[in-house]
Amino acid sequence: MKNKLLNSKLIILLFSVIFIAQAGYAEEDDFFSTGIVSDNVRGLIKPVERAIISSEIAAKIKDIPFKAGDAFKKGDLLVGFDCSFYRADMASAEAAYKSRQSVFENNKQLLALNAISDIDVAISESEMQVARADRTMKAIRVNQCKIKAPYSGRVIEVAINEHETVPADKEILSILNDRDLEIELIVPSNWLNWLAVEEAFSFMIDETGKVLDAKVSKIGAVVDPVSQTIKLTGKFAGDINGVLSGMSGTAQFSKKSN
């Protein structure tokens, strides 16, 4: 009799545990389905603009004014090359073009006097155009002797030293725009029933402890079918002084489903 009573109590206890566990899972499911604040939505801060600056010509590096960590402004010189050879080559191409241009102009005058054939004029014109194209190509090379900043930002890393000779397409330094940062987040896909662009959230940065306001700027195009999550991109709504690319934190959403 005692064994039967004990077994009955064990069965009741087992069903109670199962019921509590199911209730817990249901509550968790409801937590994600309603979109209530979540404390475990992790985010990574990334730059909107980041670039690896490579050489477009083979030449000796004359100047790299900014080193790793330095800030620069849009239009500042990032890399300067010793382009004595390219400038001399351009001067030669300029002289050749002017010579061909003079021949062509002279031949046109001779044609007006019937002292030369149309073919001779056409040939001199073609030679002038070839010389002009060559001059343009050499001018482009000279313009590539200076690499200027496409935007304001900071230097991440410098891979080459001054006075080194580099080939074309050699990586020299990497840069980023440190004033235009975004937050990459991964959230449950069933949040899409209430989540929208411009949705406000707060973001607490692990490294500094600061809590900053942000908004959803983009929602991913696809849902991960395995994890049932979707990628979001957020933008800070206020001042981001002291915020660096690579910092991470926790996002907190407060909007609930309708």
Instruction: Count how many Cα atoms sit within 13 Å of the Cα of residue 34 in the half-sphere of its side chain.
Output: 11
Tell me what pLDDT residue 238 has: 87
Terminal alpha carbon distance of the chain = 55
The answer to whether residue 10 scores a pLDDT higher than 80 is no
Instruction: Give a yes or no: residue 107 inside a domain.
Output: yes
With 60 as the cut, is the pLDDT of residue 121 above it? yes
Q: Which strand (E) or helix (H) includes residue 79?
A: strand 77-82
Q: Is 70 exceeded by the pLDDT of residue 167?
A: yes
Residue pair 60/81 in contact (Cβ under 8 Å)? The answer is: yes
Residue 18 domain flag: no
Asked whether residue 66 is domain-assigned, the answer is yes
Instruction: Say how far apart CA 160 and CA 95 lie, in whole Å.
Output: 35
**pLDDT in the model for residue 254:** 81
Counted domains in the chain: 1
Predicted pLDDT of residue 39: 52
| pLDDT, average across residues 35-49 | 78
Question: Between vectors from CA 25 to CA 22 and to CA 27, what angle results, nearest 5°?
Answer: 110
Domain assignment of residue 78, yes or no: yes
The per-residue pLDDT for 255 is 61
What percentage of the chain carries pLDDT values higher than 90?
A: 78
Q: Percent of the chain at pLDDT above 70?
A: 83
CA distance linking residue 90 with residue 220, whole number of Å = 49
Separation between Cα atoms, residue 78 and residue 65, nearest integer Å: 6
Predicted confidence at residue 17, as pLDDT, reads 40
Residue 233 in domain: no
Q: What is the mean pLDDT of residues 202-226?
A: 95
Phi/psi for 122 (5° steps) reads -65, -40
In this prediction, residue 7 carries a pLDDT of 52
Assigned domain for 21 exists: no
| C-alpha torsion 249→255→256→257, nearest 10 | -110
What is the model's pLDDT at position 215? Answer: 95
State mean pLDDT over 169-182: 95
Tell me, yes or no, whether 183 lies in a domain.
Answer: no
CATH number of the domain bearing residue 69: 2.40.50.100
**pTM given for the model:** 0.72
Mean pLDDT of 40-64: 94
Residue 71 lies in a domain: yes
Domain enclosing residue 66, as ranges: 50-176
Mean pLDDT for all residues in the chain: 86
Alpha-carbon span 54 to 250, nearest angstrom: 36
Cα 151 → chain centroid: 12
Is there a contact between 211 and 203 (Cβ–Cβ < 8 Å)?
yes
Q: Give the 3-state secondary structure of residue 114.
A: coil
Statement: residue 203 has pLDDT above 60: yes
Rounded average pLDDT over 32-54: 77
Pairwise CA distance, residues 13 & 3, whole Å:
15
Please tell me the predicted confidence (pLDDT) of residue 81. 97
